[in-house]
Amino acid sequence: MSINTKQQKAERPVFPFTAIIGQEEMKLALILNVIDPRIGGVMIMGDRGTGKSTTIRAVADLLPEIDVVENDGFNSSPVDFELMSEQVKQAVLSGKEINVVQKKVPMIDLPLGATEDRVCGTIDIEKALTEGVKAFEPGLLAKANRGILYVDEVNLLDDHLVDILLDSAASGWNTVEREGISIKHPARFVLVGSGNPEEGELRPQLLDRFGMHAEIRTVRDPELRVQVVEQRSNFDQNPDQCLAENEEKQKALLDRITRAQSLLKDVKLDYNLRIKISEVCGSLDVDGLRGDIVINRAAKAHAAYNERTEVTVEDIEAIVTLCLRHRLRKDPLESIDSGDKVKDVFEEIFK
Q: Which of 2, 34, 4, 5 is nearest to 17 (CA)?
A: 34
Q: What is the CATH number of domain 22-65+104-216?
A: 3.40.50.300
Report the pLDDT value the prediction gives residue 132, as an integer from 0 to 100: 61
pLDDT of residue 316: 96
The answer as to CATH 1.10.8.80 being correct for domain 267-350 is yes
pLDDT of residue 137: 83
Q: So what's the pLDDT on residue 329? A: 77
Q: Do 215 and 117 contact (CB within 8 A), yes or no? A: no
Q: Read off φ and ψ for residue 71, nearest 5 degrees.
A: 55, 30
Q: Report the sign of the C-alpha dihedral through residues 206, 119, 131, 74, in that order.
A: negative
Q: Based on the number of CB atoms within 10 Å of its own CB, is 14 exposed (0-12), middle (13-18) or buried (19 or more)?
A: middle
Could you state, in order of their start, the residue ranges of all structural domains in the chain?
22-65+104-216, 267-350
Phi-psi region of 42 (alpha: psi -120 to 50; beta: other; left: phi over 0): beta
Spell out where the chain has E strands.
Answer: 42-46, 66-69, 100-103, 107-109, 121-123, 136-138, 148-152, 173-178, 181-186, 190-195, 212-216
Catalytic sites, residue numbers: 290
| Distances, alpha carbon 148 to alpha carbons 106, 109, 233, in Å | 6, 9, 27
Show pLDDT as tens, one digit a residue, over the chain (351 residues): 443 443 444 467 889 999 888 888 999 999 999 999 889 889 998 877 777 888 888 998 888 888 898 888 888 888 888 888 888 888 888 888 888 899 888 889 888 888 888 898 887 766 656 666 667 888 899 999 989 999 888 888 888 888 888 888 878 888 888 777 788 889 988 889 888 877 777 777 778 888 999 988 777 888 888 888 888 888 888 899 999 999 999 999 999 999 999 999 999 999 999 999 999 999 998 888 999 999 999 999 999 999 999 999 999 999 999 999 988 877 654 544 668 889 999 999 987
